[in-house]
Amino acid sequence: MLSRVRSYILQGIDALACEVEIDFDLKDMDKQTVVGLPDAAVKESLERVRSALTNSGYAFPAGRTVVNLAPADLRKEGPLYDLPIAVGLLDVQGVFERAPDLTPGGSPTPRIESSVFAGELALDGRVRPIKGALAATSMAAECGRRTVILPAENAPEAAVVRGVEVIGVRTLAEVVGLYTGSLEPQPFPPADIESMLQASEAPIDFAEVRGQESVKRAIVIAAAGGHNLLMLGPAGTGKTMMAKALPGVLPPLTPEEAVEITRIYSAAGALRPGQGLITARPVRSPHHTASSPAVVGGGIVPRPGEISLAHRGVLFLDELPEFPRPVLETLRQPLEDHCVTIARAHGSIRFPASFMLVAAMNPTPKGSVEPGEVGRRAMERYLSRLSGPLLDRIDLHVEAPAVPWAQLSARHGSPGTSSAEMREKAAKARDIAAARQGRATPNARLRGRQLDEFAPMDDDANRLLGHAITELKLSARAYDKIRRVSRTIADLEGTETLRVDHVAEAVQYRLLDRQV
């Protein structure tokens, strides 16, 4: 007897169709085999399925059983095949043969051939959550499958996809009840993405940050043009707090962006239990002891790293020089290409990595600079941990000085620029840029020819830029960075042509540039 059950293969953040074939021969010797490039977790599935079936009151077939996971040339990993294998074993025993067309309540009984199954089984028959449920539902919709059966914890994220009935189950017995007609299907309600996004709020308001108006100005520029930012200053000046408040200045997520981010988190298993959608731009802050695979992505089976989890959001690297040099150098290619490709012997996987890099650092390991030549040399040694090519890829270098006690202790007066004010300024500049070059191309991604077209300079500005490049010995990449930042500064003022004051401000943000 033969049964076919549909499931999926998770590759990166995408799902591919997988057919779980069960061949059962009662007359042959009692032996169970899993084929189709399974990993250790898949090979162990039969033991979990055996216990789940017997503890749920169903028989495990005694005879020769072959489980084939097709296509056989793609590696299968993880425990998500437990549920489809269990359904297939019940199907070959005829458990679903007498399923009526209608449940007692009058709803159509779902059919195995039009459904996609995935879930890990506990030994007592409970269904545990899995990774990649959102990708699986998207694949099911593309393949024309009507129903997706997933663990109840994964149902909120899977329901983001329209056109497919998502049914969350908690036990194997529920699955049997659905396909024998004894239980009425109760699909999880489709997610109202727009309403969920509108309810999202930033956790920190910039009005809570005392002083640092010059840094806030740089953050508005970074948010308006999508520029990378480095804050340099002594310990305790609010650098970390401002980095975490930055998403409140960025534009709200579009539904497409929210689904894209959620898909990455779903594939990485990083969604909270019951969380259906990422509604705010992510801020990822890996510790400086993180390895290159943890930051960029990788592993024997490639997984998204911190830069992909920060997609459409902010990657915050606190204490930047404390990160190992090899880890920092791996960021250079994703900062330019906005994606990362992980190559392995069996193939390569591409992960999206379109993020804003926000870094913070102290001037010395002690956190402050001692007066005189000793302090200057200590600062130079500490800054030398950062390579010139990496600094070239950071558009804005801004100093975050210590906040005077008078500002810290002030109970009256202006609290400083708020997130709402900064968001309004950045939004106007983004609208100007979008009208000029399209929303898909923020100022930070303008190329040479585009800069020539969209960032015209007057003669004074051009002379100042040439003088700065010569005297500061800046690279060609820094030259384009200055033009991009100048374009954003001009957009904030509503000016089409770049003036000398725009270029002068952009040049002063090249604080750490040096000849390498």
Please compute the mean of the pLDDT values over residues 206-222 and round it to a whole number: 90
pLDDT at 109: 64
Q: Say if CB 172 and CB 125 are below 8 A apart.
A: yes
Q: Do the beta carbons of residue 66 and residue 33 sit within 8 Å?
A: yes
Please give the model's pTM, rounded to 2 decimal places. Answer: 0.89
Residue 253 CA to residue 209 CA, distance in Å, equals 24
pLDDT digits (tens, 9 = 90+) for 323-371: 999 999 999 999 999 999 988 767 788 999 999 999 999 888 877 777 7
Q: How far apart are CA 305 and CA 310, in angstroms?
A: 9
**Segment 215-250, tens digit of pLDDT:** 999 999 999 999 999 999 888 888 888 988 998 899
Q: Where in the chain is the domain with CATH 3.30.230.10?
A: 2-180
What pLDDT is stored for residue 410 in this prediction?
63
Residue 294: CB atoms within 10 Å: 16
Q: What is the mean pLDDT of residues 78-98?
A: 90
Mean pLDDT within 262-289? 91
- Is residue 371 reached through a cis peptide bond, with omega within 30 degrees of 0 on the bond before it? no
- The answer to whether the Cα torsion of 423, 424, 428, 434 is positive or negative is positive
Confidence of residue 108 (pLDDT cuts 50, 70, 90): low
Residue 476, pLDDT above cutoff 70: yes
Mark 445-455 as b/e (b = at least 16 C-beta within 10 Å): bbeeeebeebb
pLDDT for residue 99 is more than 70? no
Q: Which CATH class is domain 2-180?
A: alpha beta
Q: Residue 516 has what pLDDT?
A: 37
Cβ–Cβ < 8 Å for 188, 154? no
Q: pLDDT digit string (tens) for 486-508?
A: 999 999 999 999 999 999 999 99
CB atoms within 10 A of CB 67: 26
Q: Choose the most confident range, by mean pLDDT, from 188-202, 411-425, 500-514.
A: 500-514
Q: What is the pLDDT of residue 515?
A: 37
- Ranges in the chain annotated CATH 3.40.50.300: 198-445
Closest of 228, 172, 147 to residue 58, by C-alpha = 172
133 residue type, one letter: A
CATH number of 198-445: 3.40.50.300
Mean residue pLDDT across the chain: 89
| 8-state DSSP, 361 | E
Give CA separation, 169 vs 60, 86, 172, 174, 390, in Å. 21, 14, 8, 6, 49
Residue 395 has pLDDT above 50, yes or no: yes
* Cβ pair 313, 281 in contact under 8 A: yes
Angle value at C-alpha 59, between 45 and 188, nearest 5 degrees? 65
Q: Tokens 């690279």 label which residue? A: 475
pLDDT tens per residue across span 128-165: 999 999 999 999 999 999 899 999 999 999 999 988 99
Q: Which helix (H) or strand (E) holds 480?
A: helix 476-492
User: What average pLDDT does range 185-203 have in this prediction?
Assistant: 83
Contact 284, 272 (CB under 8 A): no
CA angle 394, 279, 142 (to 5 degrees): 100
Structure tokens at 405: 């006690």
Residue 47 CA to residue 41 CA, distance in Å, equals 10
Do 458 and 496 meet the contact criterion of CB atoms below 8 Å apart? no
